[in-house]
């Protein structure tokens, strides 16, 4: 039986670079109860680590994070879990050190949003990225409505959120604020290079700059969270939402553009 420690690990080097490695191969790093609990645990541990200077979020080679799992989404639709109970975005945004998302593999819905909470974002040309919320009958959550706009611009973000389709990473090259769009085999190497350069700096200065530079994104998240919660109150009272979650939960098969 897989232990929670096997799902996500923190890997440190002597220079202060910490890799938060999501590696739930069986669940494709989907955001289920056990996975979320472990993610909160490691994020809290990292926030208390005075030696950490920069954190790199890494997933599996093929899948960075598959977003909310079906069980979690059904419980949201049935009202047994409140969307406001899931505060992973804030937990990443509130980390006191710079964060880098190394999206070698695909990222779906909330999994993509987790990456967009980071300060620096890398994705792979071959991998697919999308927001599948509306395919299942409910509006985006986790701050996606604002964080995605910040990353790719309001027009591309609108197409992604309204249509629910996936785009290859190459689609965002030269038309978004994503730092690097690279061949998949080069994403991790580049992320470690960027992290290594950051780790050369004093931690106290990194912490101060992180507080300042992340303020806009944290405010955007708080604004989005309020409006998203209001939309979810409507969406999750509709019977058709539960039916659509049961019918359309298949992120890896979402239509690609």
- Among all chains, which residue has been given the structure tokens 């690990």? 9
Q: All domains of the chain, ordered by start, with CATH?
A: 4-184+210-251 (3.90.226.10)
The residue among 102, 137, 150 whose CA lies nearest residue 122 is 102
What is the rounded CA–CA span in Å between residue 32 and residue 246?
A: 16
Q: What is the sign of the dihedral through the CA atoms of 24, 93, 56 and 104? A: positive
Question: Which residues have CB under 8 Å from 201's CB, separation 6+?
Answer: 53
- Among all chains, which residue has been given the structure tokens 């929670």? 4
To which H or E segment does residue 64 belong? strand 63-65
Per-residue pLDDT of the chain (257 residues; tens, 9 = 90+): 555 678 999 999 999 999 999 999 999 999 998 999 999 999 999 999 999 999 999 999 999 999 988 888 888 888 777 766 678 999 999 999 999 999 999 999 999 999 999 999 999 999 999 999 999 999 999 999 999 999 999 999 999 999 999 999 999 999 999 999 999 999 999 999 999 999 999 999 999 999 999 999 999 999 999 999 999 989 988 889 988 998 888 654 444 55
The residue among 77, 65, 64 whose CA lies nearest residue 136 is 77
- Among all chains, which residue has been given the structure tokens 């809290």? 44
What is the layout of strands, in order, in the sheet containing 106-108? Answer: 63-65, 106-108, 128-130, 166-168
Q: What is the pTM of this model?
A: 0.93
To which H or E segment does residue 18 belong? strand 17-22
């Amino acid at each position: 039986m897989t232990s929670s420690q096997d799902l996500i690990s923190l890997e440190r080097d002597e220079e202060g670079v910490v890799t938060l490695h999501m590696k739930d191969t069986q669940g494709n790093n989907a955001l289920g109860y056990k996975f979320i609990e472990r993610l909160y645990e490691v994020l809290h541990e990292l926030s208390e680590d005075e030696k950490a200077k920069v954190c790199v979020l890494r997933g599996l080679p093929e899948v960075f994070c598959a977003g909310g799992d079906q069980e979690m989404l059904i419980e949201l639709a049935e009202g047994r879990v409140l969307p406001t109970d899931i505060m992973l975005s804030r937990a990443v945004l509130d980390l006191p050190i710079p964060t880098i998302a190394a999206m070698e593999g695909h990222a779906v819905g909330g999994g993509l949003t987790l990456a967009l909470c980071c300060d620096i974002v890398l994705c792979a040309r071959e991998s697919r990225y999308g927001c599948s919320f509306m395919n299942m009958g409910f509006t985006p959550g986790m701050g996606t409505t604002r964080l995605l706009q910040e990353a790719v611009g309001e027009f591309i973000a609108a197409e992604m959120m309204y249509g629910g389709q996936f785009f290859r990473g190459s689609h965002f090259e030269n038309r978004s604020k994503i730092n690097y769009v690279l061949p998949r085999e080069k994403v991790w190497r580049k992320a470690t290079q960027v992290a290594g350069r950051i780790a050369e700096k004093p931690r106290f200065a990194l912490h101060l700059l992180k507080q300042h530079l992340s303020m806009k994104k944290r405010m955007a998240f708080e604004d989005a969270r309020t409006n998203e919660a209001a939309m979810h109150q409507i969406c999750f009272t509709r019977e058709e939402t539960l039916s659509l979650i049961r019918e359309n939960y298949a992120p890896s098969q979402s239509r690609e553009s």
